[in-house]
Amino acid sequence: MQEKNDFIDFKDFPKNYDYKVVEEKISKYWEDNDIYKFSPEDKGKRVYSVDTPPPYVSSAHLHVGHVMSYSQAEFIIRYKRMKGFNVFYPMGFDDNGLPTERYVEKKYKINKSKITREEFIDLCLKETKIGIDIYKSLWRSVGISADYSLSYSTIDERCRKTAQKSFLDLYGKGLIERRNEPILWCPQCRTSLAQADVLLEEFAGVLYDIEFKSDEGKSLIISTTRPELLGGCVAVYANPADERYRFLEGKSVKTPLYDKNVPVKYDESVDMSYGSGLMMVCTWGDSEDVKKWKEHNLDTAIIIDRAGRLNELSGGYKGLNVKDAKKSIVENLRKMSLVKSEKPLNHNVGVHDRCSTPVEFILAEQWFVKILENKEKFIDAGNRMSWHPQFMKTRYDEWINNLKWDWNISRQRFYGVPFPVWYCSECGEAVVAHEAELPVDPAVSMPINAKCAKCGGSKFIPENDVMDTWMTSSLTPLINSLWSYEDAESKKIYNTIYPMGLRPQAQEIIRTWLFYTVVKSVYHTGDIPFKDVMISGWGLDRNGKKMSKSLGNFVSPEEITVKYSADALRYWASKANLGQDLRFSEEDVANGRRLTIKIWNAVRFLITNAESDFNPYEKNIKELKLSRIDEWILTEFENTLKSCGNYMESYEYSLCMRTLQDFFYNSYCDNYLEIIKNVFWDESEENSERKKTVLNIMYFISLNAVKMFAPFMPFITEELYLSFYKRYEKDKSIHISFWPEFRNDLVFNDSLKYSAILLNILDASRKLRTNLNLHQNHKVHKILIQALNQDYIEIINDISGDIRSAVRAERLIFSDKADFKTSDDNILIALEK
RNA sequence: GGGCGGAUAGCUCAGCCGGUUAGAGCAUCGGCUUUACAAGCCGGGGGUCGCAGGUUCGAACCCUGCUCCGCCUACCA
């Protein structure tokens, strides 16, 4: 399989690591050999299933932050694979719904009134396909180990079928219903929204004190930030305990400009100390208006239309949008001296998360999934999952506790999964599809043999709305496990995959993807959707701001992988622990590249010193004649392995990488290899056994360390494995080889007291050489050592060979002439050329 | 308003179930080029651990309060 880096003889092993050639070659090797393929038939292995996040395919926004979060999940997934799990790791693409529509609208500058639904959907599908290809090529280039034969796209047949089955199931269980009530509405996107689609943004507004009049003509001041809604005012409220306004009981007041009489009502929720203690209720300015309108059966005076413009109720302001209307009304009120004061006020306004337009309320018939009545069940499900990091669970709990609306799943859009619903043209009764006919597009087909259950009518009109995109995305564990299919094969997969093992995802979609997925799983299966949740932080730019397309502060992954390699970019991703934001740092990526080069050279040192008859398994390590320093490095390695394993088990991949890198650089390369390397400079016969021993240890440690680097740096580790280690190993990829087993028999606790002294002497000798301007490898005739402690003399005698090797001295002599201090007060050294 | 996370060397971060002179990488300064690696190696300098109290023989670590940064959440119209 080798091309450029092929080598026959060990001495020809390439000096430089050519990542550009290797990464492409290795990607192809993985594909050609199905390295990451899930095998449903493998009975011997436990299954580890991953509920992969389907990113939006409007993919022009891809940046290194995306690579970061996918890589972080991947570190764990690759680790699990090496721990022997049968990994189910699909790739998903979310391409239905509003984000794609908005992307297409912008890209093609579409005017929705001049394009048919079909033409528009075609464009969405076309962009979807382009997006998927871009994603795939990026994931491939950074080494994401998904099994692409398990891919799904949220607009494909399986997803449409699953989403519609979910609807039918919930409908059948009475958990879904159609209601006519005020709903959250985006005037920009012209669609209704769910609470989760609305974010709060702080606006610098103005609080206007406006004069109303009582029946007797008494002046009443009402504070409001939304005077443009005056025409929709249906009541004025005071707190029942507020003596100032008791006299208004049973009376009405007159609104300014419109001179409309509205009733005065009382409610505990009115804050007496806010403004004048009077508040106006309009239909509808905010959720408080909706609440009072419902509880007190107030009149309805809808003043804003679906485009966010004022209607005829506003009188002369008809056709103006909210912003202009406010300006104009305030101007007129000022002229009439009805604005008594104006105070700047920062307040939070709900905006649509996709377009940042302030949301309004309108009245419409919509489908709702009931969620308010089962909050406790969802909290309980959250408690049954493991959260990494744990504190992210707080956000989940808080979101549920603060829910105020059932989940509105109707969207007045084109591109999405249709409702499997028609309405009787006679009486309006809803008729739902049969499960057997899913997926169904009610605009294209009619209900099978259906008669209206209410009036017996046989003519139907289709539901034109599409379902909220989260209605589909929330089903990913059920989509992946083929829940909507009844055949035996699918049922088997379902039982194998569900509930899933891991859900990796970003923090900002806890309230949507995560929460809705729990809702669906609890409702459909009574179970949790997955056992472990890992929530990644954000990729930040160099200045600490969240990377995003709209801010233009994003770094393109291609640019970085071309310059530094994919392994190096992944190394950067490993720098942040789970849930932490990570600044992009080109220096860290460069460090990643340095690490790959270090690994390459350390392994190359072994390869070029091994003879062609080298056999690492000729003897078990325990049978070798180990020196104290060999025992020490084995001990250090085993301790590192143990820590790293524990870190990976607890999702602390960052600490694993740090620990491993520290071991590899400091213990293995800078000390062990430096101490033993001169054994290869000496051709004498008496050295040959020592050489073999050292080669075996180097093989053992470097292979296992390379395996441990493999989840983080899949390309270089695979290249080293295939081009060298595989001559002695059986697996066809390092990524399906076993993560090293901890071996207690290779922990030599005694060795630490020897190594401490040796390293202390080596350290001092390095300082001394620096002081003497002496090259570190330059041989010296003698090392003089003064040990002020009898135990030390014995120890030093015991390891004198290792010491001489380490400090490149021909002889070791105890002498009180040694005067250079080491960090141990009981040892002094000197070097003699 | 409530909550969560963070504040440790010039920069990015470890350490935080209390225990010897607080660590790493980068940056900086000095030295070293036949013998794995100059995209390298060796060495040096650099920190009153956000602030103020408290508990303790002992606090970066535990407790209380505060300040600043980021985020989540909330009906002050």
Q: Nucleotide B15: nearest residue by CA–C1'?
A: A655
- Please tell me the distance from the alpha carbon of residue A513 to that of residue A502, in angstroms, as a whole number: 14
- CA of residue A209 to C1' of nucleotide B65, angstroms: 39
pLDDT for A632 equals 95
Structure tokens at A565: 């390699």
How far does the CA of A622 sit from the C1' of B21, in Å?
39
- Give this complex's ipTM: 0.95
Residue at minimum CA to C1' distance from nucleotide B27: A587
Q: Which residues contact A189 (CB under 8 A, 6 or more apart)?
A: A98, A102, A352, A354, A355, A357, A413
Residue found by looking up tokens 């009733």 in the block = A263
Q: Which nucleotide is nearest to A680 (CA to C1')?
A: B35
* SS3 per residue for A625-692: CCCHHHHHHHHHHHHHHHHHHHHHHCCCHHHHHHHHHHHHHHHHHHHHHHHHHHHHCCCCHHHHHHHH
| CB burial readout A372-388, b (16+ within 10 A) else e | eebeebbeebbeebebb
User: How many residues would you count in chain A?
Assistant: 833
CA atom of A166 to C1′ atom of B16, Å: 47
Shortest-distance nucleotide from A774 CA to C1': B32
Q: Which residue is nearest to nucleotide B35 (CA to C1')?
A: A681
Give the separation between CA A609 and CA A251, rounded to whole angstroms: 100
Instruction: Indicate the pTM of the whole model.
Output: 0.94
Residues whose CB is less than 8 angstroms from the CB of residue A775 and which lie 6 or more positions away in sequence, other chains included: A769
* Backbone phi and psi for residue A98, each to the nearest 5 degrees, phi listed first: -60, -40
> How long is the CA A581 to C1' B68 vector, in angstroms?
18
User: What's the CA A250/C1' B66 distance, rounded, in angstroms?
Assistant: 50
pLDDT for res A1: 42
> A657 CA to B45 C1', in Å?
29
Nearest nucleotide to the CA of A775, by C1', is: B32
| Degrees, nearest 5: CA angle A156-A161-A165 | 150
* Cα separation, A462 vs A450, whole angstroms: 13
pLDDT, tens digit, 9 for 90 and up, residues A33-91: 999 999 988 878 999 999 998 877 665 678 999 999 999 999 999 999 999 999 999 99
Q: How far apart are CA A816 and CA A828, in angstroms?
A: 8
Nucleotide closest to residue A779 (CA–C1'): B35
Nucleotides in chain B with any atom closer than 7 Å to protein CB: 2-5, 12-15, 21, 24-27, 30-33, 35-37, 39-44, 69-77
How many Å does it take to go from CA A393 to C1' B65? Answer: 28
Position A115 scores a pLDDT of 87
Question: For position A3, what pLDDT does the model report?
Answer: 44
A681: the nucleotide nearest its CA (via C1') is B35
d(CA A610, CA A691): 9
- Distance, CA of A812 to C1' of B28, in Å: 37
Residue A391 CA and nucleotide B62 C1' are separated, in Å, by 20
A441 Cβ contact list (under 8 Å, min separation 6)? A418
Q: Cα separation of A746 and A638, whole Å?
A: 7
Distance A774 CA to B31 C1' (A): 9
Q: Is A94 helix (H, G, I), strand (E, B) or coil?
A: strand
How many Å from the CA of A322 to C1' of B55? 59
Give nearest nucleotide to A398 (CA–C1').
Answer: B73
Which nucleotide is nearest to A348 if distance is taken from CA to C1'? B74
Nucleotide nearest to A602 (CA to C1'): B36
Query: Which nucleotide has the shortest C1'-to-CA distance from A198?
Result: B73
Cα-to-chain-centroid distance, residue A59: 16
* Placement of tokens 């040694």 in the chain: A818
- What does the pLDDT read at residue A505? 94
What confidence score (pLDDT) does residue A345 get? 85
Residue A565: which of A542, A541, A597, A540 has the closest Cα? Answer: A597
What single string gives the DSSP state of each residue in A522-591?
HHHHSS-SEEEEEEE--EE-TTSPBP-TTTT----HHHHHHHH-HHHHHHHHTTSPTT--EE--HHHHHH
In whole angstroms, B67 C1' to A544 CA is 21
Q: Which residues of chain A have pLDDT under 70?
A: 1-8, 57-60
pLDDT at A58: 66
A506: left (phi over 0), alpha (psi -120 to 50) or beta: beta
Nucleotide nearest to A682 (CA to C1'): B35
Q: What is the pLDDT of residue A6?
A: 57
Can you tell me the distance from the alpha carbon of A482 to that of A494, in angstroms, rounded to the nearest whole number?
A: 6
Provide Rg for chain A, Cα atoms.
35
- For residue A440, give the 3-state DSSP assignment: coil
List Cβ neighbours of A584 (8 Å cut-off, separation of 6 or more). Answer: A64, A65, A539, A540, A541, A542, A547, A555, A572
- Using the CA of A668, which nucleotide's C1' is the nearest one? B36
Calculate the angstrom distance between C1' of B38 and CA of A735. Answer: 33
- Nucleotide at minimal C1' distance from the A239 CA: B77
Nucleotide nearest to A669 (CA to C1'): B36
Q: How do strand A198-214 and strand A466-467 relate by DSSP bridges? A: unpaired
**Nearby residues of A817 by Cβ (< 8 Å), 6 or more positions away:** A784, A786, A830
Q: How far is the CA of A391 from the C1' of B52 (A)?
A: 28
| Residue A438 DSSP one-character state | -
Q: Which of the nucleotides lies closest to A202 (Cα–C1')?
A: B74
CA–C1' gap, A598 and B13, in angstroms:
22
What's the CA gap between A178 and A165, in Å, rounded?
17
Q: Measure the CA dihedral A278/A284/A289/A294, to 10°.
A: 130
Alpha-carbon distance of A762 to A756, in angstroms, equals 10
Contact call for residues A113 and A414 (beta carbons, < 8 A): no
- Rounded to whole angstroms, the distance from the CA of residue A16 to the C1' of nucleotide B61 is 45
pLDDT tens per residue, range A728-771: 999 999 999 999 999 999 999 999 989 999 999 999 999 998 88
8-state DSSP, A304: B
Using CA atoms, how far residue A194 sits from A64, A248, A367, in Å, is: 30, 38, 11
Rounded, the Å distance between the CA of A248 and C1' of B76 is 23
The runs of H, that is alpha helices, within A772-798 are 790-798
- CB crowding A591-619: b at 16 or more within 10 Å, else e: bbbebbbebbebbbbbbebbeeebebeee
Q: Which one, of A330, A320, A336, lies nearest residue A225 by Cα?
A: A330
C1’ B14 / CA A6, Å: 40
Residue with CA nearest C1' of nucleotide B41: A776
How far in angstroms lies nucleotide B6's C1' from the CA of residue A580?
Answer: 10
Q: What are the b/e assignments for A436-466, b being 16+ CB within 10 Å?
A: eebbbebeeeebeebebeeeebeebebbebb
Nucleotide nearest to A769 (CA to C1'): B42
> Distance from residue A390 (CA) to nucleotide B55 (C1'), in Å?
29
Closest nt by CA–C1' to A287 = B75
